[in-house]
Chains A and B, each alone.
Chain A
Amino acid sequence: MTRADPVIGAGLTIAFLLMTWSSTGLTYSTEFAPGPGFAPFWLGVVGAGISAYVAARGVGAREGVAVPRAGLVRLAAALAGLVVAMVAVPSVGLALALAAYLLFLTLAIERMPLASAVATSLGTTLLVYVVFARLLDVPFPAGPLGF
């Protein structure tokens, strides 16, 4: 158990209690048989119980999960970049958004040399595009450049 467990356990307890409460709006039982609300209700109850147990066991734990600050910054930047790229997909197309994101990831986050980063991002995007859009006929959202 770690110092984070009480927080995670408490959060999940609330989520499971919300599920239990929401399930009361579903049909709990029909004649002789459980209805659509039966499983969610009991899963909510059991889940809240186990979450509370995990939270309680973690109280007073001394062990923490050490995450370096620089690592967290890299992670946040990588995620933010991914979200921005996916938001841009309807406007610029999937291939272009993916290529731009992978260039950002390899160059700015992973600190690859420029030539390697360009080769990696373009190569990966090309491979993905050929396999999915060309060979498997997946209709990728297209951008102004037509792909």
Chain B
Amino acid sequence: MDVLQHLAFGFSIALTPQNLGFAFAGAFIGTVIGILPGIGPSAGIALLLPVTFGLPPVSALIMLAGIYYGAMYGGTLTSVLINTPGESATVMTTLDGYQLALQGRAGAALGIAAIGSFIAGTLGVVALMLAAPLIADSAVLFGPPEYFALALLGLLTLSGLTGASASKALLMAVAGLAVATVGLDPIAGQLRFTAGVLELSDGIEFLPVAVGLFGIAEVLVNIESPVRLEPIRAKLSGLIPTWQDWIASRLPILRGTVIGFAVGVLPGAGATIASFIAYGVEKRIAREPERFGRGAIEGVAAPESANNAATAGAMVPLLTLGIPGSATTAVLLGAFILYGLRPGPLLLTDHPDVFWGLVASMYVGNVMLLVLNLPGAPIFASVLRLPYPAIAAGILGISVAGVYSLQNSMFDVWVAIAFGVIGYGMKRFDYPAAPFVLALVLGPLLETALRQSLTISHGNLAIFVSRPASAVLLAVGLLIVAGPTVASGLRTLIDRSQHRKEFGP
């Protein structure tokens, strides 16, 4: 009952004409961003964050969250029509979505993706609405050791699951933490690594870094190796799934929802991992697994549902603990902070309008996205005909102006350009940017929590393992980092011993 009252309060905020407009704008822009290959929700939110300056925080966050889950819908279109994921979370959709398009069933693929995304997105928000208050209540008891362990877990998980080499991902996380130490020390107020540059006293702002790494770097990569988008000439009719498609997809949608939400809640996992797992599960339990990769509608339904449910799941640690689990939620956390809000257990009590308004807007946004994406797919597909140079010009123009507007300072523009070059190198040499950005955002929290914990324990590190919650979180983090190496080592030992048994020493 309490939840329903809060939700009604949230709807009273989300359904104002102004906020409906921002939810629509977010959903629409998110869909377009999802469609444009190379520019994901992290870049989209970072680029458009300055445009929201001056708006009430609730309206701004409603729009930015709309971009986040809207991008999941949009990414499907390129996966199906040009076999290129518009967003990393729609990689798995290319496998069967493109095959369906080649068979003349692009409409069916897009239709089931939109409906699956709507169901998963809506159920995900229900789960977020029910889980968040419970987690926030428990998190009120969290002290600095638990926050330290939680933030570290997020970093370790993201580093362990980026798909790049784990050592490179960890290196990027440490580099992000190192950059976060620049500026005024958060506790003692001593200046660190500013090299006498006044602008560095407040540290390196996350927005220029995020714009550089996700926006400018992407443009640089495409300037160096231009992309040519050639959508297949598919008929986009028949967007309403047939009865057979629906029967085949209904359980994959539900399983994708559960998997997506559960994975999304985990710090560091996120929509991409969720879609991989959901696809893998469907293939494993299918009666005819050989159909997957050849145009199975379930191969579209499951990952699309999972990536949308994951966006709602990812909001749980962000809103209740203030711990982002992915690059996109790290950028969203930055947006909260820029608006003077601190996500965490107290957000629900201190700013119920923000929390419940955002939750209610996600219901509204998912309905808008379904309405936009079913009849609007052919219109959105025309975005793919935009020449890339025009997109690049738009990204660079918004990057420069947006970053400048943060503090009306050209210094931030130079920081963004510098990180654009660094980001280009990271992309080229396969050093993931997500752990870097997450570490940059979490750095001050991690350091403050570490130092507060050691102050409480008089310098005794045992405080992190003597408290059950932090001990469990650290153990999970250790398992994620060391687990694959230990497992691989054990496998080698077992293989060798079997080899010796069979063939002698």
Residues of A whose CB lies within 8 Å of any CB of B are 1-2, 4-5, 8, 12, 16, 19, 22-23, 26-27, 29-30, 32-36, 38-40, 43-44, 46-47, 50-51, 53-54, 57, 65, 67-68, 71-72, 74-75, 78-79, 82-83, 86, 89-90, 94, 98, 101-102, 105-106, 109-110, 112, 116-117, 120-121, 124-125, 127-129, 131-132, 136-141
User: Could you list 12 further interchain pairs (A-B, Cβ under 8 angstroms) beyond the known A124-B390, A127-B394?
Assistant: A22-B193, A65-B428, A72-B224, A79-B421, A86-B417, A106-B390, A109-B223, A110-B223, A112-B390, A121-B393, A125-B397, A128-B400
Could you tell me if B401 and A110 are in contact, using CB atoms closer than 8 angstroms? Answer: no
Cβ contact within 8 Å between A112 and B389: yes
Q: Does B405 interact with chain A (Cβ within 8 Å)?
A: yes
Digit string of B139-168 for contact with A (CB within 8 Å is 1, else 0)?
000000000000000000000000001011
Q: Is B325 an interface residue (CB 8 A)?
A: no
Q: Knowing A120-B389, A125-B397 touch, does A16 contact B429 (C-beta < 8 A)? A: no
Q: Which B residues lie within 8 Å of A30 (CB)? A: 188
Chain B contact patch, size range: 35 or more
B455, CB-defined interface residue at 8 Å: yes
Whether the Cβ atoms of A2 and B188 lie closer than 8 Å is no
B178 touches A47 (CB 8 A): yes
- Inter-chain CA distance A11–B181, complex, in Å, is 20
1/0 per residue B443-460: CB within 8 Å of A? Answer: 000010011001100110
B346 at interface by CB-CB < 8 Å: no
Question: Which of A2, A35, A50, A132 is the one whose CB lies under 8 Å from B50?
Answer: A132
Q: Is the interface of B mostly helix, strand, loop or mixed?
A: helix
Complex: A128 Cα to B401 Cα, angstroms: 7
Residues in B with CB closer than 8 Å to A112 are 387, 389-390
A-B contact list, 29 entries, CB within 8 Å: A2-B430, A16-B174, A16-B178, A30-B188, A32-B459, A33-B454, A33-B455, A34-B451, A36-B188, A39-B177, A43-B178, A43-B181, A46-B174, A47-B175, A51-B171, A54-B167, A68-B225, A71-B223, A71-B225, A83-B417, A94-B400, A105-B223, A105-B392, A106-B390, A117-B389, A124-B393, A131-B401, A136-B405, A140-B404
